[in-house]
Structure formats: C-alpha cells, structure tokens
Structure 1
C-alpha cells in the first residue's frame, strides 16, 4: 500500500498543482504506480471542470462558449500548464527536423518557438470549439470529465515497458518502461466503462477513450522513432493531443 500511496501523491504532485503531500520515496516503482493512477488525477481535474460547466450553465444557460473557455482554462491551470509546455517543446523539436541530439537539446530549452506556439493555440482552440459543441448538444459537463480523464489515460500507455527513456535524466527515466501493457489495458477498460456509463446509451465515450489511447500510441511511436524513447515533454504532448481528440469524438457523436 505504501508504494500505491506514494504513487498517488506523486501523481497529484507531478500532474497537478493540488496539494498532495510528499511521497516517502520516489523511484521507478512509485513512478510506475503514479502513471497507472494518472487517470484518477484526470478524473479530479475533469470533475472540477465539469462543475464549472454546470455552474455557468445554471447561471446563464446560453453562455456555452464562456463555459467551455472557463473549463479548458481551469484544467490548464490546475495542471500547472505542464502538459502544454511539453506539447510546445515536442512540437518545436519535431518542427526543427534536425538530428536526435539537436531535438533533445531543443526540448530542454526554456523558450518556445513558432511550432510550439502554433501547437498550444491550435490545441486550445480545438478544445474550446469541441467542448462548446458538446455543451450545445447537452453533454457539457460529461464531455469535460470524460476528455480530461481519457487524456490522462495516455500516460500509462506512454510509459509501457516497450518504450525506453530518450535521455538518461529527467522525468522520462523515472517512469519510462514501468507499466506493463496488460496493466494499461486494464486501466483502459475501467476508464471506458466509467465514461460510457455517463452517456449511456450513446457510444461517444467509448470512441473518445479509445481514440485517446490511439493518440498515445501514435505519439510514443513518433517519439521512439525520432528521439529513441520518451521524455516528460512527450508525455505532456500525448496528454494535450488526446484531450482535443476525445472532445472532437464526443462532439461528432453527440
């Protein structure tokens, strides 16, 4: 239980700005547990975003765009904008079309280049547009909760045992290769069942969750091919790309 407790504290401490306390130890075992529990963090953040949507809709039923913008900003803020930063760094690295070492160096730099800016703006615009569509279809708070949780489901898949760390330091070393594919699959079944229960008998939640997983597989494959493995920035990019994919799936199937 200690490893799971430390994993939960590490998950909240790493993936959010919410107070979680310090884990008693931090190693690869705890890191793996943290990635397995990442959807729990997503559920909490998504629950807050869902509450924002519900409150705005209660106060002003016609303020669909406002509700969507506030919900997206709440998730970004509660995440410490960590994943957006990772997305920007990964986009800048890939956009440079340089060799592996140069791309890894670009990802470590603190500044954001043009590809990173476009990636952040593009993702946020799709998030807001898709969530607005979901709200108008009557699936507002459900979509916020499902997409935020599904996007964090990318983390156990991105840290599966077949994906090594791209560099010898950083978050990637702590969590890369720590989650067995069967464990990630079990996490997926749990998240999928819970998400589907929110919109039953519609099938959009299942599509959203599965597409989030596919997004993770695509991102990690790309990272493995170009960088030789994963990094903390790659994990953040997977989260931020999976969220709009899930929201679009929900919007198109609502």
Structure 2
C-alpha cells in the first residue's frame, strides 16, 4: 500500500533540496509525488515571498527583493529547473532529429540557445517581481507564491496519462504518464480556486489576476509540452524543468498586466 506521505516524500525529495528521504520509487509513489507537486510549489513560493518581504521590511529596494525572490526557487531546486530549461532550449534550437537533440540535451555544457533563454527568462522574472513589489508588497508576495505553485502544477499536468517518455531511463521516464487525467484536472481546479482565494484579500481585481496567471501559465506550458513531445518523441527531466520555468515566468508576466488593482 502507498500512503500519502510516500507521495509527499517523492515530491519534496525529487523537486527540492530539502533533506527528505524518498522511500519508494515505484509508479504509485511517483503518481502521488506528481499530484503533490503544487504543494511543493506552495512551500517554495512561500519561502521566496518570505525572503522578499523580509528584505523590503529591512529597507531594501523592490529590485533587490525581486532578485531574492527569483533566486530562492533556483536555490531550493539546485537550479535543476533552470538547467532543464537551458538544455531544452539547446535541444529545440539545434534543429536536429530527436535522437541527436536528446544527446545535445544530455551534455553537461550549455549552448548559446540555453544561455540566451536563461538570461531572458531570469530578466523577465526579476523585472516582473520588481514591478509587483513596487506596486504592493502583498501583490509581489502573492505573485511569488502563485507563480511557484503554477510552475509545479505544470509538472502535474505534464505527467498525465498519455504523455510518453522520450527516453527509457531518467526522472522523465519515472514520472511520465503516472497521473490520471482526472487527477490532473482536479489538481488544476484546486490550485486555481486557491489562487483566487489568496488574491481576494488584495482587492477585487486581484481575485481574478491570479486565476488568469495560473491559466496562462498552464497554456504556455502545454504549448511547450506538445512541441517537445513532437520534437523529442516524449518528455524528459529537462523538459519538465523547462515547463516549470516557462509556467512561472508566464504567471509573473500576466500578474503585471493591467497595472495595480
């Protein structure tokens, strides 16, 4: 039997640097772990928002608070999602057949497409958080939490039944197709409702803003997922990282649209 704690251990043990021992690596534990991925995002986002707010409280500028909030998810994931984003960009940008592109993604170095993508994504994240912290400390904190949670929700949806692995080994193969479609949909609904509830106390428009951010993040991640599945024949651990960073960045950008609510 698989307990809910097996899924949580799998999620925190594989998606963060927290010292959590993964006691089970079977498909059931992976299913529970991917369903629990948004919980990991909530914790990571809470840490990011907490550090940003602490710096603001100590008199730091919104820019410095934004840099700190963007850095926390990278630190708490050992930079794996950013590394996956860079590798995915190199694989897609190579224009080579799937087998060659996967080989490029597996190399330890980062190519020009990866470097450019990392720079642009991190700049977008910091710029968005700076604008939000400058407008309202609460809005900046909310965006940090929602974007991190939406990023991990994108992983839940990418691990749904019907999405194949591109390789027979690796983390991508371990979690590909483990989440029932119904479970993925329920997770998306739960996160969206929670985001709306969290935004309601910031103002009337801010009850809608996080919902739009989550939905846009999922659409962007889904488009990338489908493109990667066509190009590589399935998903890899790098693709999962790319999906998370794409979703997080999209959510932050959408938060900025429309000005202060």
Counterpart of 1:172?
Answer: 172
Distance in 2 (CA, whole Å) between partners of 1:184 and 1:80 is: 26
Counterpart of 1:251?
Answer: 256
Q: Note if 1:158 corresponds to 2:154.
A: no
Matches within 5 A, 1:73-88: 73-88=71-86
Counterpart of 1:43?
Answer: 42
CA RMSD of aligned residues (A): 1.2
Counterpart of 1:28?
Answer: 27
Counterpart of 1:56?
Answer: 55
Contact kept? 1:163, 1:220, Cα under 8 Å: no
Counterpart of 1:148?
Answer: 148
Counterpart of 1:227?
Answer: 232
TM-score (norm 1): 0.96
Q: 1:210 offset after TM fit, Å?
A: 0.6
What is the total number of aligned residue pairs between the two structures? Answer: 252
Contact kept? 1:86, 1:236, Cα under 8 Å: yes
Distance in 1 (CA, whole Å) between partners of 2:168 and 2:19 is: 29
Counterpart of 1:16?
Answer: 16
Gaps of 5+ in 2: none
Partner SS, residue 213 of structure 1: helix
Distance in 1 (CA, whole Å) between partners of 2:220 and 2:37 is: 16
Counterpart of 1:198?
Answer: 198
Runs of 4+ in 1 over 3 A off after TM superposition: none
Q: 1:125 offset after TM fit, Å?
A: 0.5
Distance in 1 (CA, whole Å) between partners of 2:235 and 2:82 is: 16
Distance in 2 (CA, whole Å) between partners of 1:108 and 1:3 is: 34
- Residues 40/181 of structure 1: CA separation in 2 closer, same or farther (3 Å cut): same
Q: 1:216 offset after TM fit, Å?
A: 2.1
| Deviates most, 108-117 or 51-60 | 51-60
Partner SS, residue 54 of structure 2: helix
Q: 1:219 offset after TM fit, Å?
A: 1.5
Contact kept? 1:216, 1:238, Cα under 8 Å: yes
